[in-house]
Chain A
Amino acid sequence: MYTWKKHFFPGLFYLLILQFLLSFSFGDEAMGAELKPIRVVTPNGMTLLVVAQHSLPIVSVEVLVQSGSLYDPAGKPGLSNLTAGLLDEGTAGRSALEITDALAAVGARLSVRASYDYVTAGLRVLKKDVETGFDLLSDILVHPVFDSSEFKRVRTIILGEIQAEKDQPHAIARQAFRKITFGSHPYYHPVKGFEESLPEIKQADLVSFHRKHYRPNNAIISIVGDVTLQEAEVLVQKYFGKWKKGTLDPPKIEPAHALRSKKVRKIEKDLSQATVILGHVGIKRTNPDYYAVRVMNYILGGGGFSSRMMREIRDNQGLVYSIYSSFSGNQDPGPFSVTFQTENGNARKAIEGILLEINRIREEDVSKEELSEAKAYLVGSFPLRMDTTRKVASLLPQIEFHNLGLHYLKEYAELINRVTVNDVRRVAKKYLHPDHYALVLVGRQKEIGLEGSIEQ
């Protein structure tokens, strides 16, 4: 029972306590049973989270660096993603091909992914190859060289990806939606950046972005699987111990302004279906109402086949194949959006259906059954979100990143179960705006025929 709360032991004191802990053996518990991560902060400021689980010879690792596209400087959208994309394309000691080959030789998986708030590097490796895995993981994070020909090559590939997204109705719609919703807040641009912004990014930008953000005191590492705490500590010390601390000076970013009216964007595209996104700015992850919003959104459109939107618009009216609503709880308030695809001629009906449901959940109490079903699902499915080492390894750094504290794993159920019918209505009223939203329609506009006002 070693659930360490973050605020109990600041900084180095952890290391002393560690010695004490090491004299205990760690249980061979099943994933999904109560997880008891250990949190340690290394001398160079890296936060280490460990869960030992020895039943399979697998180790999953994830490093999260607070360096997402939120930190792309003005005029250079795409810098964070490009930097992340070049991490494994050559280091001081290895060429891109050597990295790929070394991974393939032990059958390990290493993947780097940039998102809005942070970049993650995930490693999955067999226990016997864990040293090789760590060697590569630390090498790409700490010593990438951003070679100029690799830089140009990767930039060209990303430009190709951006080009390819022009054939994907969802990507087109999402991009237009973000642009309207977030205005000048960095969430307005795709993580990949734009066709126009990538050529503006120079090799030197990557070097300085890396120098500024890729620092141990800006990073969280989780190690889950067939390692002991002591082994984990040794690995981190050996491979990340020399990583130099930096001075962090994150830029101040004003949150996005709420829309003051309804903004519609129609994009002509010769497609048999219309792709539609409707929504606005939502909430941030640390908002205390986050749990009530999750319950509310589950009932509204997040709950798969059980949600009101799916029932009404897909099942009862047969207007769409799939429809879902979501709140992205990011570092800054992320989007609330409802996304669906429909026959061009049915778009208006579906949009009216969505607005009806949004109004209904704002104006009327949800039923007790709906509330308890939503809670049952959100609580009951939580253990399934942690049933492999990979899933746990990627969840833990997010908990740390959003400062939820490791007791979150235990408290989550209580946080959800506390939500009342009144809370649901209150947060629906507060965070859903049926009059002020962005609406994007991609498809044959003539057939969609969205002229005149939309009835609510």
Chain B
Amino acid sequence: MVYKKVLSNGIRVVAEKMTSVKSVSIGLWVNVGSRDEEPEEHGMSHFLEHMFFKGTKKRSAKDIAREIDAIGGELNAFTSRESTTFYAKVLDEHLPQAIDILSDNFHSSKFDPREIEREKQVVIEEIKMVEDDPEDFVHDLYIKDIWKGNPLARPILGTVETVSSITRQKILRFLKRTYDPCEIVISVAGRFDPSSLMTLLEESFGEYLPKKTSLHPRQAPEITPHFQIKKRKLEQVHLCIGTPGLPQGHPDRYALYVMNNVLGGGVSSRLFQEIRERRGWAYTIYSYPSSYQDGGLLTVYAGASVQNAPRVIERVIKELKKVKKKGVEALELERSKNHIKGNLMLSMESTSSRMSKLAKDELYFGRSFTFREIIREINKVSLEQVRHLCEALFDSESLSLTALGKINAKMLPKSRTL
């Protein structure tokens, strides 16, 4: 059962009780991410995510780590392009302590200038780690090129330059401009008592008052088709090939999941079977849809040797053309639906995945979907719908490619249309 309540200040709470577990996951989701930053603030959301663990008026950074460890819990956070999440997972009897720590970090973080300076070094290390990891890095390059000029295109971590320029003043300004109770969802899944949970959350978060902030309206991303090469001395060539996808909440989203599943979503997918299993041209290949409030992408990633990379590219394009022209087959459709439904059911026992699902439902739809509803929607996907979707997405001019490694322009196919 899902409980929903709006706290007196406008923070939305969604909570789902699971009797099968002893633990509970709680997440504070702020609808602010890297796309909401000004160019000179680039990397701020992620930096803030770090700074919320660096000490409050009541607790030092060490105290925070100590307290959560003392109850054997997990406390962490992550930042995406359009949200920042702080979460904890604990045994049910420790939920009040977890809420106290989350609330204290959220309301009373000091943002001590010395801690800021130290944390900058840590984040700069993190940026460099991504640059040294070709699979991560090629994705950053790809999004940068395909959504050129849009704030969504920027890497979440920011750059060494922008992160170096962060000050306490800039942090406070950013918080004032973007964080607001109306932009917050608290999501809870697992074992808890609903009425005491709601009372506790009102006490712990209800006093955070709206500041009448006005988030900059988000600017919908537009596709800039490209074929880009970034040369680097690597053993393998890392590829991202993609087309537009769908925004969050699009009515065709289930058709997209089904189609992606057939195309490159798992080991029985066409790309995996054709390129890795049948031909052994790539050691990793998969496709995935990514969706944001007002835009999305469908991306294929592959890692292949320099020698195999050109044929992998050609083959991926061929498969995209095929799915555009013919859609998917009835048997594939059925298998994919079962695959997605099975996976969905199997994910039900994890409190953290349920907590995330609840929060995203609330953020993007303002309501929660039951498993039954989702399964009904998946069952409804038809061959016809998938074919229409493919035609719409795989516009002949929108194909893009980013390649990282020892590859040159001559190795890329001449035809760049679908």
Contact = CB atoms under 8 A, between A and B. Distances in A.
Interface of A: 30-33, 53, 55-58, 96-97, 100-101, 103-109, 124-126, 129, 153, 156-157, 160-161, 163-164, 166-169, 270-273, 303-306, 311, 314-316, 318-321, 341-343, 373, 376-384, 387-390
Contact of A31 (B20, B73, B131, B277): B20
Interface residues of B, number: 69
B112 to A, nearest CB: 12
Given A167-B236, A384-B72, A107 B349 contact: no
Interface string B270-289: 00010011101011100000
Contact of B62 (A32, A153, A311, A319): A311
A159 B28 CA distance: 44
B357 interface: no
Contacts of A384: 23, 72-74, 89-91
Contacts of A164: 235-236, 283-284, 303
28 contacts: A30-B20, A56-B349, A104-B336, A105-B334, A107-B340, A107-B341, A108-B342, A157-B276, A160-B280, A166-B236, A167-B235, A169-B132, A272-B131, A303-B69, A305-B53, A306-B65, A306-B69, A318-B121, A321-B126, A343-B125, A373-B69, A380-B72, A380-B73, A381-B73, A381-B74, A384-B90, A384-B91, A390-B349
A384 B277 CA distance: 37
Contacts of B206: none
Contacts of A376: 69-72
B233 interface: yes
B69 A157 contact: no
B125 A160 contact: no
Contacts of B70: 373, 376-377, 380
Given A56-B20, A58-B345, A341 B129 contact: yes
Contacts of A153: 277-278, 280
Interface string B325-355: 0000000001110111111011011110000
Contacts of B336: 104
Contact of A305 (B21, B65, B342): B65
B234 to A, nearest CB: 5
Contacts of A389: 349
A32 B335 contact: no
A383 B92 CA distance: 11
Nearest to B90: A384
B195 interface: no
Contacts of A270: 233
A32 B23 contact: yes
Nearest to B118: A318
B277 A166 contact: no
Interface of B: 19-23, 53, 61-62, 64-66, 69-74, 89-91, 117-123, 125-126, 128-129, 131-134, 191, 233-236, 266-268, 273, 276-278, 280, 282-284, 303-305, 334-336, 338-343, 345-346, 348-351
Contacts of B235: 163-164, 166-167
A387 B125 contact: no
A335 to B, nearest CB: 22
A271 B234 CA distance: 11
B21 A318 contact: no
A318 B57 CA distance: 22
A409 B93 CA distance: 20
Contact of A30 (B21, B122, B131, B236): B21
Given A103-B268, A321-B125, A377-B69, A160 B22 contact: no
Nearest to B353: A388
Contacts of A273: 125, 128-129, 132
Contacts of B21: 30-32, 387-388
A150 to B, nearest CB: 9
A387 B72 contact: no
Nearest to B346: A124
Contacts of B267: 100, 104
B73 A387 contact: no
A124 B236 CA distance: 33
B407 to A, nearest CB: 14
A163 B268 contact: no
B269 to A, nearest CB: 9
Contacts of B134: 167
Given A341-B125, A384-B72, 4 more contacts: A107-B346, A318-B118, A378-B72, A387-B351
B338 A106 contact: yes
A156 B279 CA distance: 10
Nearest to B115: A315
Given A31-B22, A33-B22, A153-B277, A380 B71 contact: yes
A97 B273 CA distance: 8
Contacts of A97: 268, 273, 277
Given A109-B343, A270-B233, A380-B70, A58 B266 contact: no
A109 B338 contact: no
Contacts of B236: 163-164, 166-167
A277 B314 CA distance: 40
B129 A58 contact: no
Contacts of B346: 58, 107, 109, 124-126
A105 B340 CA distance: 10
B118 A105 contact: no
Given A33-B22, A107-B342, A160-B282, A383 B72 contact: yes
B369 to A, nearest CB: 18
Nearest to A386: B22
A164 B342 CA distance: 32
Nearest to B70: A376
Contacts of B19: 30, 55
A105 B332 CA distance: 9
Contact of B122 (A53, A104, A318): A318
Contacts of A320: 122, 125
A53 B22 CA distance: 13
Nearest to A384: B23
Contacts of A169: 132
A33 B53 CA distance: 31
B71 to A, nearest CB: 5
Nearest to B23: A387
Contacts of A319: 121
| B89, B235, B340, B348 interface centre (most CB from chain A within 10 Å) | B235
A115 to B, nearest CB: 19
B234 A58 contact: no
B131 A96 contact: no
Contact of A32 (B22, B118, B282): B22
A31 B20 CA distance: 6
A380 B69 CA distance: 8
B119 to A, nearest CB: 8
Contacts of A379: 72
Given A30-B191, A106-B342, A343-B128, A161 B283 contact: yes
The 5 closest A-B pairs by CB, nearest first: A107-B342, A380-B72, A32-B22, A55-B20, A318-B121
| A58, A108, A156, A160 interface centre (most CB from chain B within 10 Å) | A160
A373 to B, nearest CB: 6
A245 to B, nearest CB: 32
